[in-house]
Chain A
Amino acid sequence: MTVRAPSSAEQGKAAWLFLAPALFLIGGFFFLPVAASLLLSFTDFDIYAIADPDNLRLLGIGNYSELLATPLFWTALKNTLYFVLVGGPLTVAVSLGAALLVNARLVRLKSFFRTLYFAPFVTTLVAVAIVWRYLYHPEYGLLNYALGMVGIDPVDWLGDPRWAMPAIILLAVWKNFGYHMLIFIAGLQAIPEELYEAAYLDGAGPWRRFVHVTLPMLGPTLVFVALVTMIGFFQLFAEPYVMTQGGPLRSTTSLVLLMYEEGFRWWRLGYAAAVAFVLFLVILGAMLLGRRVRRGEVA
Chain B
Amino acid sequence: MMYAFRAAVVCLLTISTFACGAQDKQNADITLRLWAFGREGEEVQQLIPEFERRHPGIRVRVQQIPFSAAHEKLLTAYVGDATPDLAQIGNTWIPEFAALGALEPLDAWVNRSEVVDSADYFGGIWSTNTVGDTLFGVPWYVDTRVIFYRKDILARAGYPRMPTSWSEWRRAMEAVKRELGPNRYAIFLPTNEWAQPYVFGMQAGSTLLDSAGRHGVFSDLAFRRAFEFYVGLFQSGLAPALGNVEIANVYQEFARGRFAMWISGPWSLVEFRKRIPAELQDDWGTAPLPAPGGDSAGVSLAGGSSLALFRASRNKEAAWQLVEFLSSRTQQEEFYRLTGDLPARTDAWQATGLAQDRQARAFWLQLHRVRPIPKVPEVELIATRVFESAEQVIRGGRPTGAALEALDRDVDRILEKRRWMLDQRAAP
A interface with B by C-beta (< 8 Å): 36, 39-40, 44-53, 55-57, 66, 133-134, 137-138, 140, 156, 158-159, 161, 243-245, 247-250, 264-267
CB distance from A37 to the nearest CB of B (A): 9
**Interfacial chain A residues near B395, Cβ < 8 Å:** 161, 248-249
A-B pairs under 8 A by CB, number: 76
**Interfacial chain B residues near A137, Cβ < 8 Å:** 248
Instruction: Say if the beta carbon of B417 comes within 8 Å of chain A.
Output: yes
Choice from B99, B241, B245, B391 contacting A158 with Cβ under 8 Å:
B245
Category for how many chain B residues contact A: 35 or more
**Interfacial chain B residues near A159, Cβ < 8 Å:** 241-243, 246
**Interfacial chain A residues near B241, Cβ < 8 Å:** 159
5 contacts between A and B (CB under 8 A): A46-B417, A50-B79, A158-B246, A245-B192, A248-B395
**Interfacial chain B residues near A52, Cβ < 8 Å:** 101
**Interfacial chain A residues near B426, Cβ < 8 Å:** none
B96 touches A47 (CB 8 A): yes
**With A and B bound together, what is the CA distance between A159 and B169 in angstroms?**
27
Instruction: Say if the beta carbon of B1 comes within 8 Å of chain A.
Output: yes
- Residue of A at shortest CB range from B100? A51
B96 touches A247 (CB 8 A): no
Interface residues of B in 363-416 (CB under 8 A from A): 377-378, 380-381, 388, 391-392, 395-396, 413
Contact with A along B60-90 (1 / 0, CB 8 A): 0000000000001001001100000000000
**Interfacial chain A residues near B378, Cβ < 8 Å:** 266
B417 touches A36 (CB 8 A): no
Contact with A along B1-35 (1 / 0, CB 8 A): 11011000000000000000000000000000000
**With A and B bound together, what is the CA distance between A264 and B191 in angstroms?**
23
- Residue of B at shortest CB range from A40? B1
CB distance from B188 to the nearest CB of A (A): 13
- Shortest 7 CB-CB distances between A and B: which pairs? A51-B100, A159-B246, A266-B381, A249-B395, A36-B1, A249-B391, A39-B1
CB distance from A195 to the nearest CB of B (A): 51
**With A and B bound together, what is the CA distance between A252 and B1 in angstroms?**
33
**Interfacial chain B residues near A50, Cβ < 8 Å:** 2, 75, 78-79, 100
Report if A53-B420 is in contact (Cβ < 8 Å); known contacts: A140-B248, A248-B395.
no
B interface with A by C-beta (< 8 Å): 1-2, 4-5, 72, 75, 78-79, 96, 99-102, 191-192, 241-243, 245-246, 248, 377-378, 380-381, 388, 391-392, 395-396, 413, 417-418, 420-421
**With A and B bound together, what is the CA distance between A44 and B417 in angstroms?**
8
**Interfacial chain A residues near B99, Cβ < 8 Å:** 47-48, 51
- Residue of A at shortest CB range from B102? A51
CB distance from A276 to the nearest CB of B (A): 15
CB distance from B83 to the nearest CB of A (A): 13
**Interfacial chain A residues near B377, Cβ < 8 Å:** 47-48
**With A and B bound together, what is the CA distance between A46 and B414 in angstroms?**
12
A248 touches B191 (CB 8 A): yes
For the A-B complex with A138-B246, A140-B248, A266-B380 known, give 9 more contacts whose Cβ atoms are closer than 8 Å.
A44-B417, A47-B99, A48-B377, A49-B2, A57-B420, A158-B245, A243-B245, A245-B192, A245-B245
CB distance from A1 to the nearest CB of B (A): 52
**Interfacial chain A residues near B1, Cβ < 8 Å:** 36, 39-40
